[in-house]
Chain A
Amino acid sequence: MNEKIVHMENISKSFPGVKALDNVSFELCAGEVMALLGENGAGKSTLMKILSGVYTRDQGTVTISGETVGDLTPKSAEHHGVAIIHQELNMCPHLSVAENMFLGKESVLPGGILNNHSMKDEARKVLRELQIDMDVDALVGDLPVSKQQMVEIAKALSSHARILIMDEPTSALTNKEIDDLFIIINRLKSQGHGIVYISHRLEELKHIVDRVTVMRDGRFITKGSFDSFTMDQIISHMVGREITNQFPRLDTEAGKEIFEVRDLNAGRMVRDVSFTLREGEIVGIAGLMGAGRTETTRAIFGIDHRESGQFFLDGKEIFISSPGSAISQGIVLAPEDRKKDGLCTKLSIRENIALPNLDTLCNPLGVVNRGKERELVDRTRKLFSVKMSDQEAPAASLSGGNQQKIVVGKWLARNSRVVMFDEPTRGIDVAAKVEIYNLMNDLKQKGIAVLFVSSEMPEIMGISDRVIVMCDGRITGEFAAGDMSQEKIMEAATHFEDKGINS
């Protein structure tokens, strides 16, 4: 066994009202990838924030490279070679690649004058070692997410980090980009770096992970070499009970056509899109990142400008000029980015659920009927078993999975005909995912047409009755449940038009 570079023993940490970590131990060796697994709220991020100096522990010892360290700060953790690649990328969008890499540790001449030349050279060197092709003068805000992540990794390495913590690094990447990332991870591993890998996408672990540590409810559950567990064992350790069916598909007879989109064009990302949704079926939209899936849902919902396109609801043409008019005609969208588009995080849970339904809750003068409102919130909560101590608590206080339930739930109070979900399960844990699937099944049974965009192949194949594949703004394939395979979907998803360049 290699040298142990991190050893955390009996770590405890409390926040007001919550015991986030209870006597947790964790270790990491040089040259290995350790997966840190657990549901949302299991304490993984808290543990890693202690290691990277963002939080201080209440109890326990931390040993890094054989040296017992006291209270860490981000700076001293960096000094000990710990670097964290955050789930929500933490870069300054207005600064260049080199500027971001050296932020906080600029090389300066006397008088605080920046030595841009040496920093750029050093940045190029680090990127070259990682075999990443990137212009160090490019503004980070102009780069795609995958490249920004590479910058974060390069930034960590430029400070000679030996311990890299990656928190959900693949949640925003395409399959191709994930492959690139894994190549880099494997390269770092062979160079003797120790990597802590946090991910909800269990299926990707087998490509890189050596060992796993599982946490639940702030406690250490088990650890061992990855090969010694089956996937089902890992999942049951994570959730503390058996999940019998990860993808609870419900077979129903597809009924009549409910909604039709004809010749939808909206910018470069949505071109000549036509499809129909039928009663009692769930239709998945698969495709790579940037294939135009999100843009399609936004265009239908009336957010983005359309060049052309007709919509038919129950055979009658309808006109959607704005999200408001879409909602009033029974077409709703649960957007991709919970914090940005889906929730008003500073408002209470009650206010969030009531927001799109205020028209049904108000009297003609616009005064909210409190009784109706409470009833609506209670109904939504029961429907989803949302854990909330208090419906007046801000939405930000909920865990990711519960936040997602609120985003989805707020639409279900009305008589919608078409419900569109954009990446409904991103960043939430297995158990919460199953609840979302069950909910989609409920909608399907009620005769509502469900359209959902997902980047996770197993989920899209497991839940959809029909899959539409998009590539480069166009629909490039359509498969029924019995007929789909990962290969077919991938082939359609990479069916670029022949343009000479691979966009």
Chain B
Amino acid sequence: MLKQEKQWNLWKKMMSTRGMGQVITVTVGLILLCIVFGILNPIFFSSKNISNLLRQIAPILLIGIGQSYVLITGNIDLSIGSVIGMSTMISATLMTRGVSPWTAVVITLFCCLLVGLGNGLLVSLCKLPPFIATLGTMTIARGIAQIANNNYNTDSIGEAAQGFRDFFYYGRTFNVFNTIWIGLVLWMVFNFILNRTRTGRHIYAVGSNLEASKLSGVNTVSVITKAYLVSAFCSTVVGLIFCATSGMGAMDAGNSYELYAVAASVIGGVSTLGGQGLLLGTVIGASIWGVLQNGLQFAGAPVAIRNIIIGIIVVVSVLLDIIVRSGSFKRMKEEKKGAPATTLVKSVD
């Protein structure tokens, strides 16, 4: 076998991995963006700005991971933003009432994971459309965030919580902000789970063809529920980061973050139809998001313009992917989507 041919095969294999093509395209896009912003304003590349930028990206990456898990199973999680709010409010309220920060974190995690469990079971067991189910839990979770402190934002979580604030936001380890470490470590863990474990394999399988997975003996209820739990977990961590950042609980924290999470995933090549996507792409997607926010701010663009530009980027990146991909499994995919759940009726055949 010729060396060249070997390399070509390796390349082909890499490109045929789920969504690798788009990851490469958007990585090139990300690099170009950085160059443009760097030229427009040299401060962009200062170590201080890069450090801040990465700290801004981390929360978007985290919710992106959660949303990617859910999207790959072929579902969607709209409750992410509200779970962030819930997490911030519950943890802050507990801390202002004198509960020790780490106890507060455990209680918060427990409450928020219940939302994930609810999402998972509603979608997988009760077969509610994911859009509706998580729209419901989104509203409920926001309500809980508001009720946590009797419809008020909380006071400062105080001196006692300084360790908590350092752990999630202000502190550094090896001279890198802890927030960045949290994002990195969780990304590595969830990336490993998705790519190397049985659960991960089943997440792709369920999103690719639910019926086939079921017939192959995959416990689809458990797989989908796990994906929603991951999403709720990531959102909770982001809520805690927000609480640590501001030192208080805000009821509207995380508003519309579920859509930012969709954007990060989708820019990174995760398919909203399920079965396809890489967490590597989600990193790039979240980074593009962060770089655009940061760079445009440096360039003096007002928030309104930033929103418009980011919206365009989301649409264009997905459009590009559709054009680039030759639609090889369009047929199977459509068949799957097109065939209604009429197994019972069909059985009479």
Closest A residue, CB atoms, query B197: A112
A78 close to B (CB within 8 Å): yes
Shortest distance between the CB of B265 and any CB in chain A (Å): 16
A residues in contact with B306, CB < 8 Å: none
A227 within 8 A of B: no
Which of chain A's residues has its CB closest to B16's CB?
Answer: A139
By beta carbon, the residue of chain A nearest B345 is A397
Chain A, 100-124, contact with B by CB distance < 8 Å: what is the 0/1 string? 0001111010011110000000000
- Which residues of B sit under 8 angstroms from A95, Cβ to Cβ? 201, 204-205, 208, 275
Nearest chain B residue, comparing its CB with the CB of A155: B216
Residues of A within 8 A of B300 (CB): none
Task: Please name all residues of chain A whose beta carbon is closer than 8 Å to the beta carbon of B199 when the two chains form the complex.
Answer: 112
C-alpha gap A399/B215 in the complex (Å): 23
Indicate whether A496 reaches chain B with its CB closer than 8 angstroms: no
Using an 8 Å CB-CB cutoff, how does the interface string of B260-289 with A read, 1 for contact, 0 for none? 000000000000000110000000000000
In chain A, positions 130-150 with a C-beta closer than 8 Å to chain B are 137-139, 141-142
B84-92, B307-315, B325-333 - interface stretch: B325-333
Q: Within A64-113, which residues are at the interface with B (CB < 8 Å)?
A: 74-75, 78, 84, 86, 88, 90-95, 99, 103-106, 108, 111-113
Contact between chains at B347 and A15 (CB < 8 Å): yes
Known: A93-B329, A113-B197. A103 touches B334 (CB 8 A): no
* A74–B211 CA distance with the chains assembled, in angstroms: 12
Closest residue on chain A to residue B199 by CB atoms: A112
B349 within 8 A of A: yes
Given the contacts A91-B209, A141-B329, A345 and B276 also touching, CB distance less than 8 Å: no
Instruction: Name the residue on B nearest A46 (C-beta).
Output: B347
From B205, B332, B349, contact of A399 by CB (8 A): B349
Quote the shortest CB–CB distance from A80 to chain B (angstroms).
Answer: 13
List residues of chain A with CB within 8 A of the CB of B2. Answer: none
Complex contacts, B275 vs chain A, CB 8 Å: 92-95
Q: Is B344 an interface residue (CB 8 A)?
A: yes
| Chain B: minimal CB distance from A193 (Å) | 20
Residue on A nearest B72 in the bound complex, by CB: A94
- In the complex, A406→B209 CA distance in Å? 28
| Interface pair A55/B329, CB less than 8 Å apart | no
* With A49-B347, A112-B198: A78-B217 Cβ-Cβ less than 8 Å: yes
Beta-carbon contact of B339 and A15 below 8 Å: no
Q: Kindly state the separation between the CA atoms of A138 and B328 in the bound complex, as whole angstroms.
A: 13
What size tier do the contact residues of chain B reach?
35 or more
A141 surroundings in chain B (CB, below 8 A): 328-329, 332
Taking CB atoms, residues of chain A closer than 8 Å to B196 are 113-114
Considering only CB atoms, which chain A residue lies closest to B337 in the complex? A340
Q: Does B5 contact A (CB under 8 A)?
A: no
Contacts of B329 in A (CB 8 A): 93-94, 139, 141-142
Is B301 part of the contact surface with A, judged by Cβ < 8 Å?
A: no
**B302 CB-CB contact with A under 8 Å:** no
CA of A479 to CA of B196, assembled, Å: 57
| Contact call B16/A346, Cβ cutoff below 8 A | no
Is B198's CB under 8 angstroms from A108's CB? yes
A94–B207 contact, CB under 8 A? yes
Chain B positions within 8 Å of A346 at CB level: 340
Q: Nearest Cβ distance between residue A430 and chain B, in whole angstroms?
A: 15
A138 to B18, CA, bound (A): 11
Residues of A within 8 Å of B18, CB to CB, are: 94
Restricting to B186-202, which residues have a CB under 8 Å from any CB of A?
A: 196-202
Complex CA gap A104/B196 in Å reads 15
A199 at the interface (CB under 8 A from B): no
B290 to chain A: closest CB distance in Å?
28
Contact check: which of A18, A40, A94, A104 meets B208 at CB < 8 Å? A94
How many angstroms between the C-alpha atoms of A494 and B196 in the bound complex?
A: 45
Task: Point out the residues of chain A lying under 8 angstroms from B209, CB to CB.
Answer: 90-93
Please name the residue on chain B nearest to A73 by beta carbon: B217
Is residue B150 contacting chain A, with contact meaning CB distance below 8 A? no
Any chain A CB within 8 A of the CB of B48?
A: no
A187 at the interface (CB under 8 A from B): no
CB atoms of A104 and B340 under 8 A apart? no
Does the CB pair A94–B335 fall under 8 Å? no
Q: What residues of B have a CB within 8 angstroms of the CB of A104 in the complex?
A: 202, 213, 216-218
- Alpha-carbon distance between A54 and B349 when the two chains are bound, in angstroms: 14
- What A residues does B345 contact at CB under 8 A? 394, 396-397
A194 CB contacts on chain B under 8 angstroms: none
Chain A residues, CB < 8 A from B211: 90
Complex interface: chain B residues within 8 A of A54 (CB): 215
Query: A106 — which chain B residues lie within 8 A by C-beta?
Result: 198, 201
**A424 on the interface (CB 8 Å rule)?**
no
What CA separation (Å) do A136 and B335 show in the bound complex? 24
Q: How far is the CA of A103 from the CA of B345 in the complex (A)?
A: 27
Specify which of B212, B329, B347 lies most central, judged by the most chain A CB atoms within 10 Å of its CB.
Answer: B212
Residue A495, interface by CB 8 Å: no
**Residue among B208, B213, B332, B349 with the most chain A CB within 10 A?**
B349
In contact, B201 and A93 (Cβ under 8 angstroms): no
Q: A45 to B197, Cβ gap below 8 A?
A: no
Q: How far is the CA of A111 from the CA of B197 in the complex (A)?
A: 8
**Hey, which chain B residues are within 8 Å of A105, CB to CB?**
216-217
Give the complex CA separation of A142 and B333 in angstroms. Answer: 12
Q: How far is the CA of A394 from the CA of B218 in the complex (A)?
A: 30
**Chain A residues whose CB sits within 8 angstroms of the CB of B216 once the complex forms:** 74, 103-105
Least CB distance from A240 to B in Å reads: 18
State whether the Cβ of A460 lies closer than 8 Å to any Cβ in chain B.
no
Whether B338 is near chain A, meaning CB under 8 Å from some CB there, is yes
Q: Which residues of A contact B212 (CB under 8 A)?
A: 90-92, 103
Contact: B344 with A15, CB < 8 Å? yes
Instruction: Answer yes or no: B348 CB below 8 A from chain A CBs.
Output: yes
Contact A15 B348 (CB under 8 A): yes
- Residues of B within 8 Å of A394, CB to CB, are 340, 342, 345
Task: Quote the shortest CB–CB distance from A266 to chain B (angstroms).
Answer: 16
Q: Give Cα distance in the complex from A400 to B349, angstroms.
A: 8
Are A103 and B205 in contact (CB-based, < 8 A)? yes
The residue in chain A whose Cβ has the minimal distance to the Cβ of B207 is A94
Which residues on the A side are within 8 Å of B346 (C-beta)?
396
Looking at A49, A54, A86, A112, the one whose CB has the most chain B CB atoms below 10 A away is: A112
User: Which of A46, A99, A111, A138 contacts B348 (CB under 8 A)?
Assistant: A46
User: B214 at interface (Cβ–Cβ under 8 A)?
Assistant: yes
Chain B residues near A41 (CB, 8 Å)? 348-349
Contact status A114-B338, CB under 8 Å: no
Interfacial chain A residues near B334, Cβ < 8 Å: 340
Q: Is A408 interfacial (CB 8 A cutoff)?
A: no
Chain A min CB distance to B200 (Å): 8
Q: Which of A151-165 contact B (CB under 8 A)?
A: none
Q: Which residue of A lies closest to B210 (CB)?
A: A92
Q: CB of B13 within 8 A of chain A?
A: yes
Q: Does A20 contact B (CB under 8 A)?
A: yes
Known pairs A95-B204, A103-B213, A396-B345 / 13 extra A-B pairs, C-beta < 8 Å? A45-B349, A55-B347, A94-B208, A94-B276, A103-B212, A103-B216, A105-B217, A112-B199, A114-B198, A138-B16, A394-B345, A397-B345, A399-B349
Name A's B-contacting residues (CB within 8 A). Answer: 15-16, 18, 20, 40-41, 45-46, 49, 54-55, 74-75, 78, 84, 86, 88, 90-95, 99, 103-106, 108, 111-114, 137-139, 141-142, 337, 339-340, 345-346, 394, 396-397, 399-400
Interchain residue pairs A-B with the least CB separation, the first 7: A141-B329, A104-B216, A104-B217, A92-B208, A94-B275, A90-B212, A94-B208
A/B interface sample: 18 pairs, CB < 8 A: A15-B348, A55-B347, A90-B209, A90-B212, A93-B332, A94-B18, A99-B205, A105-B216, A112-B198, A114-B201, A137-B16, A141-B329, A339-B338, A346-B340, A394-B340, A394-B342, A396-B342, A397-B345
